[in-house]
Amino acid sequence: MAGSRAAPGLVQVCPYRSRAVIDPRGVLKEFGLDVSPDVEVRVWDSTAELRYIVLPERPEGTESLTEEQLTALVTRDAMVGVARVKAVQAGDKA
């Protein structure tokens, strides 16, 4: 699976690649994601072979949702790790 998809644009560009390891909070903030100071940030620079799957944090109030409804909440940015999943109902997009 690894290597069989084109990389999202953000990881191709210099601002992201230069700053992710030294200023991860600043980078995420510019994506619109504020990480609370009490949340530890760890940078994982991948090796040549290993890729990481981002498992988005489950938003509060979604305990009763079905897999299908949960799937509808997940965005690409959430899977890339630069956005949180918002607990809007499926089909209730703003």
Binding residues vs another protein (CB under 8 A): 1-4, 6-10, 12-22, 24-25, 27, 30-32, 37-45, 47-50, 76-77, 82
Distance CA 78, CA 85 (A): 6
State how far the Cα of 58 lies from the Cα of 28, in Å rounded to an integer: 19
How many other C-beta atoms lie within 10 A of the C-beta of residue 73?
20
Length of the chain: 94
Nearer to another protein, 26 or 87 (CB): 26
Nearest distance, CB of residue 78 and another protein, angstroms: 13
Minimum CB distance to another protein smaller for 65 or for 83: 83
